[in-house]
Amino acid sequence: MSELFFLITIDTEGDNIWETTVNSKVTTKHASHLFRFQDMCESFDFIPTYLTNYEMAKSDAFVELGRNGLSRNKLEIGAHIHAWNQPPYYPLVPKLGEKGKPYLSEYPRWVIRRKLENITGLLGDTFGVPITSHRGGRWCLNDVIVEELVRLNYIVDCTCTPYMNWEKVSGYTWGSGGPNYEKHNNEPYKLTSKRYKEDPQAYLIEVPTTIEKIGKRNSIQWLRPKGNNLPALKEIVRKRAAEGKHVEFMLHSSELDYGTNPIFRNKGMIDLLYRDIEELFLYAKELGYKGSGLTAFARQISV
C-alpha cells in the first residue's frame, strides 16, 4: 500500500480505571476534556478511533462528542470491554492472595457472548452506527472472543501488542493470566480461530498496536506518549515511514486529563503531553502520513 496511514486508537474508559476495584463505582469526569484532543486530531486531518467501554457509553459528554464527530466523519466508535464492569455481571471465585482484575477470558462462554452482545448493542444504539472495531480490555483476546466478534460482524481488532507477554500478569481467578504476543510484529494479519479455520470468510483483520524495537539496544517502545518520550515516538514514526508502513498510536482517554490517571497528575503535565502530541502529529504529517479510522484502514489492506 503506497499511502502512509496514521491510526489513532483511544481506549475510552473511566477515570483512574487502574486504581479501581472490581466493585468500585467508576466515574467519567475526564470525558468533557476529550474535546480538546478531538479538535487537535481534526486540525491535522487525523481520525481517532475511540474504543469505548460501558461507562463512557453512558457519559453525556462523550456521547455528545461521538455523535458530533460521527456526523462529520471525523472519528470512529469501536468497542472496548473491561470484563468486571460490563453487564451482565457474573460472579467469579477469586483466588487467594494478590489478584488482578478479571480478564474477559476468565468467564464462561455464554457470559462472554452476552457481554460482547451488550456493549455492541449499547454502542450501536447510542451512536447510530454499526460497531466494527474492537480492542480487548487488559489486552485480552482468545479464540472464544474472536469467534463471538466474528459472529457480531466485527471487521477489525487491535488488541495485539507485539513483543509483549502478559501471561504472568494476574487475573482474578486461580491460574489466570493474559495472552502472549511475543512472536508478533506490527504487521496486520488475518485473525481466526480453530473452530473457524476452514471458513475463509470467518476472520478479523488484526492491526496490532505499534510497538517497535529501536536504538542500538533494540529497546521496546510503544507509540504511546508518556510526557518524556517524544524522541522515541518520532524515531518509531520515522522508521515506519522509511519502510512505507502505517503506525498505530494509542492512549487511554483518561490520560488526556489530569488527576484521572496515574501518569499525568496536574495541568502542567497535561499541557506538556499535548505539546508532545502536537509535535508528533506535525512530524507525522511532514513525513506524509494521513488519517484513517481503524475500520476504513482494515477494509483497504491486503493480508
With left for phi above 0 and alpha for psi between -120 and 50, is residue 172 left, alpha or beta?
A: alpha
| CA distances, 284 to each of 6, 152, 220 (Å) | 8, 34, 20
Say if CB 292 and CB 76 are below 8 A apart: no
Classify residue 49 as exposed, middle or buried by CB count within 10 Å of its CB (0-12, 13-18, 19+).
buried
Helical (H) or strand (E) element with 214: strand 211-214
Cell numbers describing residue 31: 470525558
pLDDT tens readout for residues 29-86: 999 999 999 999 999 999 999 999 999 999 999 999 999 999 999 999 999 999 999 9
Say if CB 53 and CB 277 are below 8 A apart: no
Write the DSSP string, 121-161.
HHHHHHHSS---EEEEGGG---HHHHHHHHHTT--EE----
Ordered per-residue pLDDT tens for the chain, 303 residues: 579 999 999 999 999 999 988 888 999 999 999 999 999 999 999 999 999 999 999 999 999 999 999 999 999 999 999 999 999 999 999 998 888 999 999 999 999 999 999 999 999 999 999 999 999 999 999 999 999 999 999 999 999 999 999 999 999 999 999 999 999 999 999 998 877 767 778 899 999 999 999 988 999 999 999 999 999 999 999 999 999 999 999 999 999 999 999 999 999 999 999 999 999 999 999 999 999 999 999 999 988
Cell numbers describing residue 40: 487537535
Say if CB 126 and CB 160 are below 8 A apart: no
Spell out the domains of the chain, with CATH numbers in brackets. 4-300 (3.20.20.370)
